[in-house]
Amino acid sequence: MRVYTRLNTRFVKNPIAVKRFELLLRKAHVVRLPDEPYREAALPAVMTFASRRMALVDMVLRLILEDVNVRKHGLLTFNPRDFSDLFRKHQIEMP
């Protein structure tokens, strides 16, 4: 999950939710993934992804999900349809 996507204006107005999220980020199993290579590839991909319109950050997430070198188990999203093909393809759990 992109932290800047999760930390939107509505979310940060809830101090309890922000504190819980902060605690989650500090857990040992949470890995912060450098996203620069995905960001560089996302913009041209969004421009050519003709089958549907997609936010740039969602394309970054799609590229991360496609990367076989990144271990992933699940993804929490408000847009499951944007990723359902990848969930099936890579057997990724969507709670």
Task: Quote the tokens at residue 94.
Answer: 């969507």
pTM: 0.71
Q: Which percentage of the chain shows pLDDT scores above 70?
A: 85
**Rounded Cα distance, 28 and 15, in Å:** 23
Handedness of CA 34, 32, 60, 21 (dihedral sign): negative
**Rounded Cα distance, 78 and 82, in Å:** 9
- Per-residue pLDDT tens digits for 17-42: 889 988 988 888 888 888 899 999 99
Low-confidence ranges of the chain (pLDDT < 50): 1-2, 4
Domain extents in the chain: 1-32, 36-95
